[in-house]
Chains A and B, each alone.
Chain A
Amino acid sequence: MPLARNLSLFPHNTTRRIGVVPVPIFVALIAIFDVILPTTVAASWAFNPLLVFATLQTLFLFGTSVVVAYISLKSYLSGGSRTILLLGSGTLAWGFASMVAGWLLGPPGGPNIGVTISNSGALVSSLFYIASATTTMRDSSSRDSKSRKPKLILAYGGAVGFLAALTGFALLGATPAFFVPGAGSTILRQAVVGAGLFLFAASSILFLRLYHDSRSGILFWYSMALALTAIGLAAFYFGRTVGDPIAWTGRIATYLGGIYSLIAVWSAFRGPHSSPTGSPVP
Chain B
Amino acid sequence: MVIDSLNHLEMYVPRGDLRKEAYRILMYLKTRGISPVVIWEAQQGPESSYAVTQTGMSFLIDCLVLLKFVEINSSMKKALVIMKMRGSDHDKRLREYEITARGVRVAAPFSGYEGIITGTPHRSLTQEVAGAWDDAFTWTKHKQ
Interface residues of A (CB under 8 A from B): 1, 71-72, 74-75, 78-79, 81, 83-84, 87, 132, 136-139, 141, 145, 210, 213-214, 216, 218-219, 265, 267-269, 271-274, 276-278, 280
Contacts and interface: CB of A to CB of B under 8 A. Distances in A.
Interface string B88-122: 00000000000000000000100111000000011
A276 B129 CA distance: 12
Interface string B57-84: 0000000000000001110000000000
A49 B137 CA distance: 38
A74 B132 contact: no
A75 B128 contact: no
Given A75-B133, A75-B134, A84-B133, A274 B140 contact: no
A75 to B, nearest CB: 4
Nearest to A266: B129
B135 interface: yes
5 contacts: A75-B131, A79-B130, A138-B141, A214-B140, A276-B123
A71 B129 contact: yes
SS of A interface (majority): helix
Q: Which 6 A-B pairs have the closest CB atoms?
A: A74-B130, A274-B131, A218-B136, A75-B130, A268-B132, A79-B134
A273 B127 contact: no
SS of B interface (majority): helix
Considering residues B121, B136, B141, which has the most beta carbons from chain A within 10 angstroms of its beta carbon? B136
B144 interface: yes
Contact of B139 (A210, A269, A276): A210
A84 B134 contact: yes
A96 to B, nearest CB: 20
Contact of A272 (B113, B121, B132, B141): B132
Contact of A145 (B108, B126, B139): B108
A83 B142 CA distance: 13
B143 to A, nearest CB: 8
B135 A280 contact: yes
Nearest to A209: B140
B3 interface: no
Given A265-B129, A273-B132, A278 B73 contact: yes
B6 interface: no
Given A1-B128, A78-B131, A276-B73, A216 B136 contact: yes
B131 A87 contact: no
B31 interface: no
Contact of A216 (B112, B127, B139, B141): B139
A271 B132 contact: yes
Nearest to A83: B137
Contacts of A267: 132
A122 B139 CA distance: 27
A265 B136 CA distance: 11
Contacts of B9: none
Contact of A277 (B74, B112, B136, B140): B74
